Amino acid sequence: MVNPLASQPRVRLNNGVEMPLLGLGVYDMYGREAETAVIRALEIGYRLIDTATLYENEAEVGRAVRASGLPRQELFVTTKVANPDQGFDATLRAFEASLQRLKFDYIDLYLVHWPIKGKRRATWQALEKLYEEGRVRAIGVANYLQPFLEELATYARVVPAVNQVEFSPYLYLKDLLVYCRNRGIQLQAYSPLLRGIRLKDPRLLALAARYGKTPAQLILRWDMEHGVSAIPKSSNPQRLLENTGLFDFQISADDMAFMDTFHENLRVVEDPMTML
């Protein structure tokens, strides 16, 4: 079988570190299921794994990485500081705990999971310290809509390498994408498949049929065409593979413009603006 991820595109982050554009999200998988899914994903060719302390599967991700036999430096593992752990000292402690659960020497990308009121500055300063000490290869944020990024810019010494937000044709955050692009912040789409709730949209089905692709593949390709990284979750072997089938075709400019019109401000996860 031809490995669809053999020459998968990578993006150079603002500090020169390379990150695969496509990754596996591991939210809502636990224990043996999580470990097996990550092992399978690494066999298929995924090299970016997105976990978080909140997901309670860092230990399983670490075990799967070791079971794969792949050199650690070939992989890109993201984890995130959980909301109750935010603040300067608590974040530093949480980072050590994540490393211990993963049994890693370093994390590739450490993210602030949510912009928590009253904690944002101290949490970011803890990430900057970890970055400057070489404990993480890159630092970034998640759920930082533009007002949060503007606030961060007033005190940050390190520009976030990545901003991970909910993003899909049905939540096309064009202004945020442009804002991030202009500042060298790589946008990464979480819940890119909207947890499945729009995969039967007749417009999407018709387009997908025309390209000989599935709706999920079309959405993930739409992300790539916009230069956005995506981290779809699956623990199903068939769908893990399906979600890699997006590097052998392109969406035409007209069809991209059409998909852009699917925007309906639809979220499957809480709106980060409630945190302001």
Q: Which of residues 73-112 bind ligand NDP (CB under 6 A)?
A: none
Q: Which of residues 157-176 bind ligand NDP (CB under 6 A)?
A: 164
Give the torsion sign (CA, 17, 18, 24, 30). Answer: negative
Between 202 and 253, CB nearer to ligand NDP: 202
Between 236 and 261, CB nearer to ligand NDP: 236
C-alpha neighbours within 13 Å on the C-beta side of residue 49? 34
Q: Which three-class secondary structure string do you get for 68-118? A: HCCCHHHCEEEEEECHHHCCHHHHHHHHHHHHHHHCCCCEEEEEECCCCCC
Whole-angstrom CA distances from 187 to 109, 128, 164, 235, 259 are: 13, 19, 6, 24, 18
Between 84 and 196, CB nearer to ligand NDP: 196
Asked whether position 53 contacts ligand NDP by CB under 6 A, the answer is no
CB 20 within 8 A of CB 48: yes
Q: How far is the CB of 214 from ligand NDP (least distance, A)?
A: 6
- What would the x/- binding string for ligand NDP be over residues 110 to 149, using CB under 6 A? ---x----------------------------xx------
Between 132 and 271, CB nearer to ligand NDP: 271
Please confirm, yes or no, whether 172 is among the known catalytic residues: no
* Interatomic CA distance for residues 34 and 91, integer angstroms: 25
Asked whether position 192 contacts ligand NDP by CB under 6 A, the answer is yes
* Interatomic CA distance for residues 248 and 66, integer angstroms: 30
Asked whether position 271 contacts ligand NDP by CB under 6 A, the answer is no
Q: How far is the CB of 246 from ligand NDP (least distance, A)?
A: 11
Angle at 73 between CA 163 and CA 71, to 5 degrees: 135
Among 99, 138, 216, 241, binds ligand NDP (CB under 6 A): 216
Q: Choose one: 60-68, 117-125, 153-161, 191-199; the region binding ligand NDP (CB under 6 A).
A: 191-199
Among 234, 246, 247, 262, binds ligand NDP (CB under 6 A): 234
Between 20 and 25, CB nearer to ligand NDP: 25
Asked whether position 8 contacts ligand NDP by CB under 6 A, the answer is no
Q: Which of 46, 55, 172, 190 is catalytic?
A: 55
Among 185, 194, 207, 251, binds ligand NDP (CB under 6 A): 194
Which residues make up the interface to ligand NDP (CB under 6 A)?
A: 25-27, 50, 113, 142-143, 164, 190-196, 199, 216, 231-236, 239, 242-243, 269
Known catalytic residues are 55
